[in-house]
Amino acid sequence: MTVARRQHFFLADRGHGLPYSKGLAASSLMVTGLSPARSYAVANKVEEELRSQPAGDLSSSYIRKVTLEVLDREAGRKYVEAYLKWESVVELDGPLIILLGGATGVGKSTIATQLATRLGITRVVSTDAVREVLRSAFTAQMFPTLYSSSFEADNALRQPIPNSGDRLIIGFREQAAAVAVGAQALIDRAVAEGTDMILEGAHLVPGFLQSVDSEEAVIVSLVITVDDEQLHRDHFHCRSREARPKDRYLKSFDKIRRIQRYMVSSALMREVPTIEHCDDVDATLSRIIDHVLTKALNTVEEGTRAGSEEAADPAAEPLSLGGRREDIAHESIL
């Protein structure tokens, strides 16, 4: 019995002679918003087309051409445009930092984890972890709202509030303001280290961070919502299979919805986009990735224009583009 040998393709214009990898190709396609299954299916089609060519070395430009053609045919022009955006984004020298805010139970943790996988980001941090660190520094007597859930912060308020004030929102704001200090430190550290990061949590209220703009990084702020109340309730029923009991959340469901309305209002006031999560994670991720790529591409274009202006000035130093992500781009289709 004769076993057919697997046909390998090597990149002729890569000094290392690296072979084409369907797995890495599928990973690179996920940045377009395609699900892992569809990305792998497209990568498989690309491999089939490459196999129709004589065995040997192929140029990376040819593999890119085939990839875009197959992506257009199998998924559509929208995903081709997203792929082209990502190719431009990888020229950015600074880190990509994504801030995902939203009320309890909207699916932030699930979205953050899967978004990290698709974008190749290894650092995902929850603001609940930041709150835990702050608890080690402040006692419950010193900072009582830190020791309650976001939707129960009203019970921890000590100071008197105006009759017209919303005790829940005031308590939540006090907790969010404290956690924002730690969140800001994480962002500053990621920028200084040049490390991509996703930060998610109910405490990421638009307007509470000192600055979400940086010339040294692409920082994208989003608020995740679940507009359908029944769907939002269903999320907590799913949590019944986890360690956290659903009854506690459902008992405070009206409070959680009020916090969501407050966060949406804050987002609208500060022009922070809101992304509705309709329980289709792939669709939600696709919208988020599209927004992230658009924001990052705008940053790249602004940097390119600034670089052109500096180049026209003999005394100015040229803007540094390329570098850390450029190598990733070169290997993404291997």
Task: Give residue-wise pLDDT tens across range 29-75.
Answer: 998 889 899 999 999 999 888 888 776 677 888 888 999 999 999 99
Quick one: fold of 96-279? Rossmann fold (3.40.50)
What is the per-residue pLDDT for 274?
97
Measured distance CA(309)–CA(119) in Å, rounded: 31
Name the β-bridge partners of 10.
19, 57
More reliable by pLDDT, 76 or 321: 76
pTM of the model: 0.81
Nearest to 253 by CA among 273, 272, 228, 271: 228
Measured distance CA(46)–CA(322) in Å, rounded: 27
Measured distance CA(257)–CA(229) in Å, rounded: 8
Task: Give residue-wise pLDDT tens across range 185-228.
Answer: 999 999 999 999 999 999 999 999 977 666 788 999 999 999 99
Mean pLDDT of 221-249: 84
CB count, 10 Å around CB of 175? 27
For the record, the structure tokens of 145 come out as: 């709202």
pLDDT of 154 > 50? The answer is: yes
SS3 276: strand
Domains of the chain, residue spans: 1-89+309-334, 96-279
pLDDT of 7 > 60? The answer is: no
Nearest to 259 by CA among 201, 182, 183, 185: 201
pLDDT of 265 > 70? The answer is: yes
What is the per-residue pLDDT for 304?
61
Lowest mean pLDDT among 231-240, 285-294, 305-314: 305-314
Q: What ranges in the chain are assigned the alpha helix state H?
A: 22-29, 36-51, 60-74, 77-89, 108-119, 127-137, 167-193, 229-238, 246-251, 253-269, 281-311, 324-331
Mean pLDDT of 258-264: 98
**Orientation of helix 36-51 relative to helix 60-74, angle to 10°:** 130
Strands 197-201 and 124-126, bridge-based pairing: parallel
For the record, the structure tokens of 175 come out as: 């907790």
pLDDT of 130 > 60? The answer is: yes
Task: Give residue-wise pLDDT tens across range 89-99.
Answer: 777 778 999 99
Measured distance CA(112)–CA(224) in Å, rounded: 11
pLDDT of 137 > 70? The answer is: yes
Measured distance CA(230)–CA(257) in Å, rounded: 11
